[in-house]
Structures are given as structure tokens and as C-alpha cells.
Structure 1
Amino acid sequence: MGQQSIRQAARRAALGEQAQRRRERAERDRRIEALAVEVLTALEERKAAIADCEGRAGLALQKLTADEGLSRAEAAEWCGGELTKRMVATLLRGAAPPRERPEKL
């Protein structure tokens, strides 16, 4: 085998190895990208679920304070000490606007 043939064979082998590494990196990048999308999707779903739950809690607190006449502190107390006054205020702010009541005659 001549010197030129040896060089060509070595060059083909090197190019083949480089091509293989590029394919492996591209496959790895695709896997990483898919997993990153999965993480971000789960976090957005969590954010939406939290917003929904907090909205429902706020509406219930609104009913406790507006309809049942409890103070915010009393409402927090009725919730078994799970809420602080600050949390009650935050949840009430995030709730939908209070439903309109008919005017008293």
C-alpha cells in the first residue's frame, strides 16, 4: 500500500469518526431538548394548578368574609391555623371579584 493510500484511508477513518461524534452529539442534544421541554411543561402545569387552587381558596375566603361576615383573622382561624393574615389577604386579592348582590329594598 502506498503512502498516498495510507493517508486517504486514515483521512476517511478520521472523517468517519468525526461524523459519528456529530451524530451522537446531535442525538444527545435532541434528548436534552426534549427533557428540558418536559421540565418546563411540568412547571407551567404546576403554576396553572396552583393559580386554580389559590383562586378557589380565595373565592371560599371571600364567601367566609363577605357572606358569613367573618373577619379575615376569624376566617384564618376557622381554617385551622393554616393561613396567616398575609396569606388570607393574598388569596382574597387573587380571587375573582365578589358576586354582585341585589340591592336591598
Structure 2
Amino acid sequence: MGKQTIRQEARRAALDAQSRRREERAERERRVEALAIKVLVAIREREAADRRAGEALTEMIETERLSAREAVQWCGDEVSTREVARLRRVAADAANPAAQEEADLGGVVSQ
């Protein structure tokens, strides 16, 4: 086998290996991208569900004049009073975007 043939075969083998690695990386990137989308969708869905739950709890407490403890009892102890407070904050923040923006900035208000 000549020197030139050996080089050509070696070059072809190296190019094939590089091509396979590029394809494997591209496939992995597609899988990771799809998983990232699933994560973000689930988070947004959870945030929307938390907001709706907080709105309902706020209505129970403010409109129907229940205490947080009574709201917990009406919900079959599926939530705690601490969770009621958190969900109500989520709903209040969603209703007041300026307050949410301020909280996101760590309470710093630009002047």
C-alpha cells in the first residue's frame, strides 16, 4: 500500500469520525432543546395554576369572609395556611405587575 493511499484512508477515516461526532452533537442539542422547552412550559403552566388558585383563595377570604384556616379546611387540607399566603401573593403580584417588577429588582425603585 502506497504512502498516498494510507494518507487518503486516514484522512477519510478522520473526516468520517468528525462527521459522526458533529451529527451526535447536533442530535444531543435537539434533545436538550426539546427538554428545555418542556421545562419552561411546565413552569409557566404551574405559575398560571398557582395564580388561579391564589385568585380563588383570595376570593374565598375577602369576598366570602373566610379565614385562611377556614379556606384550608374547605380545600380538604390539601394546602397549608403558609401555602394559602404564598398563592395569594402570587395572585396579587400577577394583578399588580409594577409590584412584581419592583420585587424582581430587589425592592429597588428607579428614580
Establish whether residue 66 from structure 1 lines up as the match of residue 62 from structure 2: yes
% of aligned pairs identical?
A: 29
CA distance in 2, matches of 1:65, 1:91: 12
Partner residue in 2 for 1:10: 6
Match of residue 50 from structure 1 = 46
Give the secondary-structure state (helix, strand or coil) at the position aligned to 1:69.
Answer: coil
The AA in structure 1 aligned to 2:3 is R
For residue 80 of structure 2, what is the aligned residue in structure 1?
A: 84
How far, CA to CA, are the matches of 2:69 and 2:13 in structure 1? 70
SS of the counterpart of 1:95? helix
Q: How many residues in Structure 1 have an aligned counterpart in Structure 2? A: 94
The amino acid that maps onto 1:75 is: A
Q: CA deviation at 1:51?
A: 0.3
Aligned partner of 2:105 in structure 1 is none
- 1:19 aligned partner: 15
- Gaps in structure 2 of 5+ consecutive residues: 97-111
Pick the aligned partner of 1:75 from 71, 75, 94: 71
Deviation at 1:87, TM superposition (A): 0.5
Q: Which 4+ residue blocks in structure 1 deviate beyond 2 angstroms?
A: none
Unaligned runs of 5+ in 1: 99-105
TM normalised by structure 1 equals: 0.86
